[in-house]
Amino acid sequence: MEACTKLSKSIIEGLKKKSNVELQSDEWMEKDWEMYIKRNDKYEANFTRGILKVFAKQEEEIISEMQKQKEYSLKAKTPKLGSSDWFAVYYLSIYGIIEGIMKDEGKRANVQIGLQAVFGVPQKKVTEMIVDQVKKLQLSVDGVTNEKIAKAIANADNNAEAVKAVREVFAELSSTRVKAIARSETVRAATDATIAQWKETKQVVSKIWYTVQDERTCEFCGAMHGKKIGLDVVFFKKGDILKVT
């Protein structure tokens, strides 16, 4: 379901509190979504490069520490990620990328309700949103990486085998997992910026789940089409169950 939601989008219901604020037509929104998909391809490519820098740094430092071991030890077998030092590496690698996405998509959010293409969210708030996103990303990614490394080197008999196993883990992360990370995190940045900008306008109070009704749409996303909720409400919380008929 998570992957399929990337083929869906939430659009807003503008309240005409002012005469110059109007929601764009369905046709305009559809074209705008197609344009977003093209922009997001570039976002994902940039984000992928940022995460690959993180993975390369982690692989280098983990293997360096393992190779310092004169004898194979439990410490060498279980290197751990997740410290504040690694947060700094993530932050420096992707802050500018996320900020660029937020500014672009914040401007787009204004245009969607007939306003000028201006991103009005205060920089302090933007920084807070990025820090929050990076913290959650690091916690999730490093947790998975730690598990993959521990599992991969569990049966290693010496440092050489352990180092090889670690290299294989990062090769897999850099070729497959990085794509999923880039896709989910660029969508997250765009969504956060959109909601934040709508709040700044004080013209939007709700959002509607809009699903592209094509052959890629799953039964769950299709069932959500048209659901309206408050702007600060989430469509799903962890553990929620959606029943479809």
CB 178 within 8 A of CB 52: yes
Task: List, for residues 229-242, the tens digit of each pLDDT value.
Answer: 888 888 887 777 77
Q: How far apart are CA 8 and CA 212, in angstroms?
A: 6
Across the range 98-117, mean pLDDT stands at 92
Task: List, for residues 50-85, the tens digit of each pLDDT value.
Answer: 999 999 999 999 998 888 776 666 555 556 787 888
- Tell me, yes or no, if the pTM score tops 0.85: no
Structure token digits, residue 240: 């929620």
Q: How far apart are CA 111 and CA 12, in angstroms?
A: 12
Residue entry with tokens 């299709």:
222
Point out which residues pair with 228 in neighbouring strands: 208
Q: If you average pLDDT over every residue of the chain, what do you get?
A: 83
